[in-house]
Structure 1
Amino acid sequence: MTLSTEKATLAETVHDKLRDELLRGELSPGSKVHISETAARHGVSPSVLREALTRLAERGLVVAMPQRGFTVAALSVGDLTDLTRARTLIEAMALRESIADGDLSWESSVLAAHHRLQRTAMIDDDGDVRPDWSEAHRQFHHVLLSGGTSRRLTSIADGLRDCSDLYIHWSRVLAHDDHRDAAAEHQQIADLTLARDADGAAAALVAHIERTTEVLIGYANAVASTADGSATA
């Protein structure tokens, strides 16, 4: 293994570990990533860590600050609202195209992806969202929108969903939306999609996306209210 290949492999490993820490809420929204300390904790050089962080920044999980390193993405109500609007518009359109254009092979893929998601436990013994559930969830939503003829539209939808990863997980680990029946929401979306009910499926998908936004905005407002109360106490 060459030095460059070894470095790339290490960066990949650290990328995955940091991504899991971010999604579990172990790194607070908006907090600074201390390069030397984090590199030492993962047993890699600062350059390897920066490479991993750069990849995370491309997915919107951390933010690269010129001359100031990296910070965890902040919980921004404005960004979340804007992202949600973009997702609901694009994903509803892509789902409608999938329902109109998708063939029997696509239907089979939706069934298989939904079955995998159903059979994968969401929460581990520590109350964290499991990485294998996250992957099954991502694949289910990708397959839903993959039946349309526009590859570009599907790619845009996938990119927007990647940017939502932190928000999706924060709705569980920070906002503690423990009473949500995500499985029932996914079942409804799958059933309406396979029934070729474009209006019903699109509405169910939009409601599914907006639930995360509503919970997190409530959490952010509660945090801001607490901070204001502490400042004036």
Structure 2
Amino acid sequence: MAPRTRTSTPTRSDVVLSQIRSDVLNGRLAPGSKLGFVDLGGRYAVSTGVLREVLPRLVEQGLATSEAQLGFRVIDVSVDRLSHLTDARVAIETLVTRRAVEQGDVSWEAEVVARHHALTRVTDSGSGDIQEEWLAAHELFHIAVLRGCSNDYLVDTASRLRSISEVYRCWSRPEHDRTHRDIAQEHHDIMDAAIGRDADRAVELTETHIRRTTELLVAARSDEELAAGRPG
């Protein structure tokens, strides 16, 4: 689930979790790869004790798995898994979005607008690759919309599914996403519908946004596999 805002100084565990999370979401730790204590300890200059605290939190966020005798691994990815994840996200996130639009207060509106503004500032940077700063701003914008819902269980479930979906951004070329859509306009329209209290429109836009991302990721993945001479 997505981390909530902290007011205290981050602990060593918080810092390491953020580093591992970033490496998973950006593909530096590949889907399905083993998260061994020795390798991670050297990579992040951290003790096994800290890793024993951090890795279960990564599992809670849906970015890793843990099995007896096999240890921890980055979650695996496939077209079937992405299809199931997309259906789950649409079911949960549209429900939470509707409740957020209906229940959110003025402070929620202000947060949605602020997070959207922050996202546009990063999006307009002109970089050819998806940046870590953009990934963070993107997540914070969508979570800000969801936070209008008063049911924390639903919000946390939706946020966790969003975290898992981000792993797929490292699964195929990000250029494919930006070339074939106006994602900045999609975000602007979602913000407008949300703060305009148009729940039906916000739900429609949210589902389209989620499913379009999946369609483009699958298409890009198929193109890469064909180019490499591998079956899709």
Shift of 1:17: 1.5
Distance in structure 2 (CA, Å) of the matches to 1:48 and 1:149 = 33
Distance in structure 2 (CA, Å) of the matches to 1:122 and 1:33 = 35
How many aligned positions are there?
221
Distance in structure 1 (CA, Å) of the matches to 2:22 and 2:155 = 25
Question: Which residue of structure 2 aligns with residue 178 of structure 1?
Answer: 178
Distance in structure 2 (CA, Å) of the matches to 1:230 and 1:95 = 39
Q: Using a 3 Å threshold, how does the CA distance of structure 1 residues 48 and 82 change in structure 2: closer, same or farther?
A: same
Work out which of the two has the higher radius of gyration on C-alpha atoms and give 1 or 2.
1
Give the counterpart letter for 2:200 in structure 1: D
Give the counterpart letter for 1:104 in structure 2: V
Question: Which residue of structure 2 aligns with residue 68 of structure 1?
Answer: 70
1:17 equivalent to 2:12? Answer no
> Secondary structure in 1 aligned to 2:143?
helix
Question: Which residue of structure 2 aligns with residue 195 of structure 1?
Answer: 196
CA contact (8 A) 1:192 1:200 kept: yes
Give the counterpart letter for 2:166 in structure 1: D
Structure 2: gaps spanning 5 or more residues: 1-9
Distance in structure 1 (CA, Å) of the matches to 2:14 and 2:160 = 19
CA contact (8 A) 1:95 1:202 kept: yes
1:48 to 32, 47, 50: 50
Shift of 1:121: 4.1
Over the matched positions of the two proteins, sequence identity in percent amounts to 39
Q: Using a 3 Å threshold, how does the CA distance of structure 1 residues 41 and 122 change in structure 2: closer, same or farther?
A: farther
Task: Tell which deviates more after alignment, 145-154 or 50-59.
Answer: 145-154
Q: Using a 3 Å threshold, how does the CA distance of structure 1 residues 152 and 10 change in structure 2: closer, same or farther?
A: closer
Give the counterpart letter for 1:129 in structure 2: Q
- Residues 40-189 of structure 1: matches in 2 within 5 Å? 40-121=42-123, 127-131=129-133, 133-170=134-171, 173=174, 176-179=176-179, 180-189=181-190
Give the counterpart letter for 2:156 in structure 1: S
> Secondary structure in 2 aligned to 1:177?
helix
Q: Which has the higher contact order (CA 8 A, sep 6+)?
A: 2
Give the counterpart letter for 1:177 in structure 2: D
Shift of 1:59: 1.2
Distance in structure 2 (CA, Å) of the matches to 1:124 and 1:28 = 26
> Secondary structure in 2 aligned to 1:33?
coil
Deviation readout 1:114-147 (Å, 9 max, x if unpaired): 222222347796834224x333322221221233
> Secondary structure in 2 aligned to 1:29?
coil
Q: When the two structures are superposed, what TM-score results if normalisation uses the length of structure 1?
A: 0.79
Give the counterpart letter for 1:37 in structure 2: D
Shift of 1:36: 1.8
Q: Using a 3 Å threshold, how does the CA distance of structure 1 residues 48 and 29 change in structure 2: closer, same or farther?
A: same
Structure 1: gaps spanning 5 or more residues: 1-7
Give the counterpart letter for 1:193 in structure 2: A
Q: When the two structures are superposed, what TM-score results if normalisation uses the length of structure 2?
A: 0.79
Distance in structure 2 (CA, Å) of the matches to 1:130 and 1:122 = 14
CA contact (8 A) 1:124 1:130 kept: no
Distance in structure 1 (CA, Å) of the matches to 2:88 and 2:68 = 27
CA contact (8 A) 1:61 1:163 kept: yes
> Secondary structure in 2 aligned to 1:30?
coil
How large is the Cα RMSD of the aligned pairs? 2.9
Question: Which residue of structure 2 aligns with residue 4 of structure 1?
Answer: none
Give the counterpart letter for 1:17 in structure 2: Q
